[in-house]
Amino acid sequence: MANIIEMPKLSDTMTVGTLVKWLKQEGDAVKSGDMLAEVETDKATMELESFFDGTLLKIFADSGAQVAIGSPLCAIGKPGEKIDVPAPAAKPPEKAEAPAAKPAEGGQKTEDRGQKTGDGEQKKSQPAPPMPPSTTAVPAAVPKAGQVSEPTHPKPAPAAASSDRVKISPLARKLAVEKGIDPARVTGSGPGGRIVRADILAAEKSGGARVGSAVPGAKKPAGPSAFAKGPIQEERTVPVSNMRGAIARRLVESKTQLPHFYVEVEIDAGPLLALREQLNANLEAEGVKLSVNDFVLKASATALRQVPTVNASWETAASGQGQIRHFAAAHVAFAVAMEDGLITPVIRDAHEKSLFEISSEAKALGKLARDRKLKPDQFTGGTFCVSNLGMMGIPRFTAIINPPNAAILAVGTTVQKPVVKDGAIGIGQTMVLTLSCDHRVVDGAVGARYLGALKQLLEAPALLLV
């Protein structure tokens, strides 16, 4: 009997996966270890691996379909072998004719060929492990991926794209943003006119569908074009990705269920900046380029060893009573911004690694995160998190705790300003660090001690090289 491959759970918060595209087709010979398809989760786009040798006998889910965990994707076996046909997987989201609408109070379930998807699936309770931190408001409702309610205002688009929504795969949508392509001006070659990756690449080559490019026969809009900085912004409704939907749910959980409190300290960043400049200048030939964030990550891990109460999480025991888990190792996560959200790669055993090892690992993990190639064990299991907006010029902010962590550190930019040192006023470089704490685990005095340890390490950064 043929082997059935089901949608795996590829991240701790995943409930459904979007089948981006098949890398193998029905009738193809496959071996164990071959990559069968690309699957988009709420954290990354990953390749689905075959664990069987044989022939790809049947595909149960079309490209673009949202498939619940445990639902069948394909069957592998010998030609002519019997297949126990399982319940069909979900249809591609854009095939549903009803436009995305505000869900009714209490949540609305959407049934699609017998499988729970969309809002109905997302209303289920989720496990506790990590979600990306954020400092911005998040939507409460998550429309189904693939559906776009287009604006009521007319837009320059060919007749082929004049429908009330754009049918486009998640991968093509992401590529369109990167390439500056307007999907409404691209004709899809996929099933039902769906825009796929090849269509975006073809549009990029032709150059006619770029955002803000002229449309043949279209009149030039009136107004002072000298002040135009880009295409006119139009009111529109867009679907959220699996990642953005997961962020929305988890941040609401964190902010409503975890009693946040905040402590803040301003440090003298001058010694850190001076040491960083000196090390980079002398080690440039060896490919070393340290960032301020590298120092913060190393100092955060070291401070966790000095104030271990912060390196903990709140849990609910089998009896239903709360308990606190203290971690032996400092697994420090850091926030990486992506096109449609955030993800937190983890540097494991950061307390045992040198500043240079942390720098190298952080760069590698950051690239994998932006390419959506992180594996589950690379973004789960963190015990503390660092969110740094300093490179964006933000002087100070507060971050939402990344459950099940008990704290998250928000790092602002370095600011040059007058400071008092040794009784005299001079020009200094300062940096503000804000610690968000779960008050069930961390008390104010403990948070203050942790920031004190962190301040001492960053103001005497040579200690991080020992």
Whether 317 contacts 332, CB under 8 Å: no
Tell whether 163 and 58 lie within a shared domain: no
pLDDT at 257: 93
Confidence of residue 227 (pLDDT cuts 50, 70, 90): very low
Are residues 58 and 182 both part of a single domain? no
pLDDT score for 165: 65
* CATH number of residue 193's parent domain: 4.10.320.10
Within a domain: 335: yes
DSSP secondary structure code for residue 223 in this structure: S
- Give the closest residue to 176 by CA, choosing from 212, 151, 146, 209: 209
Quick one: which H or E segment has residue 355?
Answer: helix 355-370
Q: Residue 62's closest CA among 98, 27, 26?
A: 26
Which of the 8 DSSP states describes residue 405? Answer: -
- Structure confidence at residue 33 (pLDDT): 87
Tell the residue number behind the tokens 């503000």, with chain if given: 432
Q: Is 250 part of any domain?
A: no
Q: In DSSP terms, which residues pair with 48 in a beta bridge?
A: 37
Query: Are 276 and 361 found together in one domain?
Result: yes
Angstrom distance (rounded) from CA 359 to CA 300 = 13
Residue 143 lies in a domain: no
Could you report the per-residue pLDDT of 383-440, keeping only the tens digit for each?
999 999 999 999 999 999 999 999 999 999 999 999 998 899 999 999 999 999 999 9
Residue positions annotated with a catalytic role: 439
Per residue in 442-457, pLDDT (tens digit) is 999 999 999 999 999 9
- Pick from 238, 271, 302: which residue ends a domain? 238
Q: Are 200 and 292 found together in one domain? A: no
Is 315 within a domain? yes
In this structure, are 124 and 198 located in the same domain? no
Question: Which amino acid type is present at position 305?
Answer: R
Is the pLDDT higher at 201 or at 258? 258
Q: Which domain holds residue 194?
A: 148-215+233-238
Query: What was the pLDDT predicted at 46?
Result: 82
Residue 263 bridge partners (DSSP): 435
The whole-number pLDDT of residue 212 equals 57
Highest-scoring range by mean pLDDT, 52-56, 225-229, 298-302? 298-302
Q: Decide if 117 contacts 68 (C-beta within 8 A).
A: yes
> Do 162 and 120 share a structural domain?
no
Burial 250-279 (b: 16+ CB within 10 A, else e): bbeebeeebebeebebebbbbebbebbeeb
Residue with tokens 């403990």: 446
- Domains contained in the chain, number: 3
How far apart, in Å, are the Cα atoms of 93 and each of 16, 140, 143, 183, 405? 12, 20, 10, 17, 34
State whether 446 and 308 are in the same domain: yes
Measured between alpha carbons, how far is 198 from 189 in angstroms, rounded to an integer?
8
Tell me which of 137, 156, 188 is where a domain ends.
Answer: 137
Distance CA 27, CA 21 (A): 16
**Judgement on whether residues 391 and 263 belong to the same structural domain of the protein:** yes
- Do 269 and 169 fall within a single domain? no
Same structural domain for residues 126 and 211?
no
Q: How confident is the model at residue 147 (pLDDT cuts 50, 70, 90)?
A: very low
pTM of the model: 0.59
CATH of the domain at 94: 2.40.50.100
Q: Give the residue among 392, 396, 401 at the shortest CA–CA distance from 411.
A: 396
Q: Same domain, yes or no, for 133 and 155?
A: no
For 274-285, write each residue's pLDDT tens digit: 999 999 999 988
Q: Is the peptide bond before 404 cis (omega within 30 degrees of 0)?
A: yes
Q: Rounded mean pLDDT of 214-237?
A: 55
Q: How far is CA 185 from CA 164, 218, 382, 453, in A?
A: 13, 13, 43, 56
The answer as to whether 437 is a domain residue is yes
Residue 228 has pLDDT above 60, yes or no: no
Q: What is the CATH number of the domain that holds 363?
A: 3.30.559.10
Q: Given this model, what pLDDT does residue 245 score?
A: 83
Mean per-residue pLDDT, 230-234: 64
Q: In terms of domains, do 179 and 211 share one? A: yes
What is the identity of the amino acid at 9? Answer: K
- Location of structure tokens 């060919």: 158
User: Hey, what amino acid is at 454?
Assistant: L
